[in-house]
Amino acid sequence: MCTCIDFTTKDHYFGRTLDLEYRFDEKVVITPRNYCFALKNGTTIRTRYAMIGMASVKENYPLYAEATNEKGLSIAGLNFPGNACFFPEDKSRFNLTPYELFPYFLGLYSTVADLREILPDLNITDIPLSEDIPLAELHWMISDGTECIILEQMEDGLKIYDNPVGILTNNPPFSYHLANLNNYMNLTPCCPENRFSDKLNLQQYGMGMGAIGLPGDSSPSSRFVKASFTKLNSVCEKDEMSSVTQFFHILGSVSIVKGTTLTKDGLDDLTTYACCMNTTRGIYYYKTYNNSQITALRMTGREKCRKTLCIHDLIDTQQVRYVN
């Protein structure tokens, strides 16, 4: 389970929580310009644009969970089990495997508008990287700071949705999440009015009562509503530190605490990390479950022009600042 957020103040920010019951040897990885990717459709590409994000690396191939490129185009893949459907290769279509969307889209494109030209012909195929690395069932949120879209390939084909909310979670499909927001249109951050009955003198007895009914559980549909309400009603200064701090507060409203959500196998599903990317400046900020201090990595000019991947291990031990 995960929650992805698109957020703009002076700069554009894009990030997510990664909620899993296991770790996947994730690291912050910078892929430079002119990096070669051999695609399963038999072609090879070299990236025009560098990218930074969280990935596991298999034989010099970064398998990104989310990333942004130096032009500000950003993608996140979120779990979509039971609904995601990947097809065999179709020679009449443009074929990419799920994990190839990141290097192809971010390596070659700079805007959502440019991507829209190729998406109608896209066929997301069922070819894994290798026999021992099965495909993850995903759907994707893509943004460039001016447009935000959702990609979902299900049994009846590829669907492309405009995303006016700038939020994505997991199942059900995105169309359900948008329609479900109608059930919460009466919620407000303001003090509530008595609409129950004019025959009763009902009074507010505490702050926040205008949002009574806002979901607080960790299910995907509830997190979508909670994150949407929190983001769309949040107030933030436009400077970098205020924006990054606010972004992590929004993500924190839907973070999952260890022990509160168990899988069918009795494992703890928790927010293993949360990230915020300043896509305008190419900065990747993150926290982990074990380390709540914000760590930042920049996509510098030197790293954009390297010949190899730049791989950074996570700082996953709690950092405490003692003042006495």
Can you spell out the DSSP letters for 51-71? EEEEEEEETTEEEEEEEEETT
Spatial distance between the Cα atoms of 15 and 284, rounded to a whole number of angstroms = 9
Taking a C-beta distance cutoff of 8 angstroms, is the pair 242, 249 a contact?
Answer: no
Q: How far is CA 146 from the centre of its chain?
A: 16
- Mark whether 305 is an active-site residue: no
Name the DSSP letter for residue 125: B
Calculate helix-pair angle for 240-252, 220-233, nearest 10 degrees.
150
Q: How many helices (H) and strands (E) does the chain have?
A: 7, 18
Q: Strands 295-298, 36-38: parallel, antiparallel or unpaired by DSSP? A: unpaired
Scanning 25-184, the segments in alpha helix (DSSP H) are 101, 107-108, 112-116, 174-180
Active site residues: 2
